[in-house]
Every structure is written in C-alpha cells, then in structure tokens.
Amino acid sequence: MCYVYILECGDNTLYTGWTNNLNKRIQTHAEGKGAKYTRGRLPVKLVYFEKFEDKVSAQKREYAIKKLSKENKLKLLNKEKAPELDY
C-alpha cells in the first residue's frame, strides 16, 4: 500500500509527499529528519492522506496535488480530515 499525504507545518504552510509506510514517514518528519522543506518548519501535523495500490499511482496523485494552489489544497483538506494516527 502507498500513501499520498499532506502535512501542515509550523509556519502554516502545507507539504505534500508520498510513502509506502505512512506512520514511519510522519515520525521521520516529526523528528526533523524528513524532507529538507519540513526540517525548518517544525512541528508538522498530518492533515490529509489517500491510499493507493501502487507507487506510480501515488506519485501521480502527489504531483497533481502539488500543482494545486494553496486555496484548492485547503478545499481538498476540508472534504476529508485525516484520522489521528499513533506513531
């Protein structure tokens, strides 16, 4: 299973990524060991994710979300809030 996720960073910006292990990836971001973008914008909070059967589908969706304006990303977030995850 692969996931596309959106994090809300400490400076109120949004970061979109993909992974095959959501809990581990969010923990990595939270520890300041994730993407360069998020390292300087801690803390991060998972606000959205989608599941995909394969890596290619997840990467295509990630790319599509990254092309959205912040306004449209916020609309996407309001449609479905991510549940709380233990990590």
Tens-place pLDDT, residues 18-43: 999 999 999 999 999 989 999 999 99
Q: Is 58 exposed, middle or buried (0-12, 13-18, 19+ CB in 10 A)?
A: buried
Whether residue 80 is contained in a domain is answered as no
> What is the count of structural domains for the chain?
1
Whether residue 44 is contained in a domain is answered as yes
User: Which residues form the domain of 30?
Assistant: 10-68
pLDDT digits (tens, 9 = 90+) for 52-82: 999 999 999 999 999 999 989 998 888 755 5
Q: The whole model's pTM is what?
A: 0.87
Whether residue 3 is contained in a domain is answered as no
Q: Residue 78 has what pLDDT?
A: 83
Whether residue 39 is contained in a domain is answered as yes
